[in-house]
């Protein structure tokens, strides 16, 4: 349970948050944990060492940080990780942040493995949109990519999100050469059939992935576009998300 934070503004009045390049910042991603129940090959090593719990912000501190950002002009906050749903008290945190006056959108990125039982509660807590990672539709491939994950758990989570009434449900797929690059068309069809959005993501050099060589499996966005162009008519889009996932 999150203690009630004093109602007095943290800054004198709502202002604009401007970075050193003169860009207005309206979107913030809050990593509420570095822990995850998957060990995706592109994200972390199997023997990942996590921060001591004493070095992680408490739920109250995260809520306070979120409120400060909103008062500085941020209108969209994304809860992410690690895997945010492994953090105890995540529903209380969502309720606290979702109730901040001036916040237009509270969104979340999750691997979906723990989503099914709490999808409706997350929506009721104030999460408006949710992104779910889905890198393969083949159970064996999925397990190799995540090292420990079960595809069926994620598929059930996706369906639960569809039924929960989120403003949007979007799939994220990291595409790797010779691992899942041949599934991009199937993933699009899966999304379209369920009226979901989908984003394909190039692998980024983040985290410790052990002995794996990233360059050998990098699959560029131009190649993804070519694959999709062979199966679909692609239309230009001016939509800018503000983040990679």
Domain boundaries along the sequence of the chain: 27-44+52-205+213-229
pTM: 0.89
Mean pLDDT of 202-225: 78
Positive/negative CA dihedral, 15, 19, 20, 22: negative
Percent of the chain predicted with pLDDT > 90: 76
Condensed to tens digits (0 to 9), the pLDDT of residues 123-151 reads: 999 999 999 999 999 999 999 999 999 99
Higher pLDDT pick, 183 / 204: 183
Q: Does domain 27-44+52-205+213-229 have CATH number 3.20.20.70?
A: yes
Q: Residues for the chain: how many in total?
A: 245
**Position 68 confidence tier, pLDDT thresholds 50, 70, 90:** very high
Burial of 79 (0-12, 13-18, 19+ CB in 10 A): buried
């Amino acid at each position: 349970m999150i203690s009630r934070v004093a109602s007095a503004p943290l800054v004198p009045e709502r202002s604009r948050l401007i970075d050193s390049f003169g860009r207005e910042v309206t979107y913030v991603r809050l990593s509420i944990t570095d822990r995850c129940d998957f060990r995706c090959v592109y994200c972390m090593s199997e023997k990942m060492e996590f921060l001591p719990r004493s070095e992680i912000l408490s739920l109250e501190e995260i809520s306070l940080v979120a409120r400060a950002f909103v008062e500085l002009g941020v209108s969209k906050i994304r809860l992410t990780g690690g895997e945010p749903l492994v953090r105890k008290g995540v529903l209380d945190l969502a309720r606290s942040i979702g109730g901040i006056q001036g916040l237009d959108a509270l969104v979340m990125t999750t691997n979906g493995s723990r989503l099914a039982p709490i999808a409706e509660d997350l929506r009721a807590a104030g999460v408006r949109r949710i992104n779910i990672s889905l890198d393969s539709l083949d159970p064996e491939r999925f397990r190799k990519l995540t090292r420990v994950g079960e595809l069926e758990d994620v598929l059930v989570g996706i369906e639960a999100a569809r039924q929960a009434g989120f403003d949007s449900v979007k799939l994220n797929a990291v595409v790797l050469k010779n691992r899942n690059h041949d599934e991009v068309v199937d993933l699009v069809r899966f999304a379209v059939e369920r009226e979901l959005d989908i984003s394909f993501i190039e692998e980024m050099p983040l985290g410790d992935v052990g002995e794996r060589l990233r360059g050998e499996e990098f699959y560029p966005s131009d190649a993804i576009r070519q694959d999709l162009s062979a199966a679909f008519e692609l239309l230009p889009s001016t939509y800018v998300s503000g983040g990679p996932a």
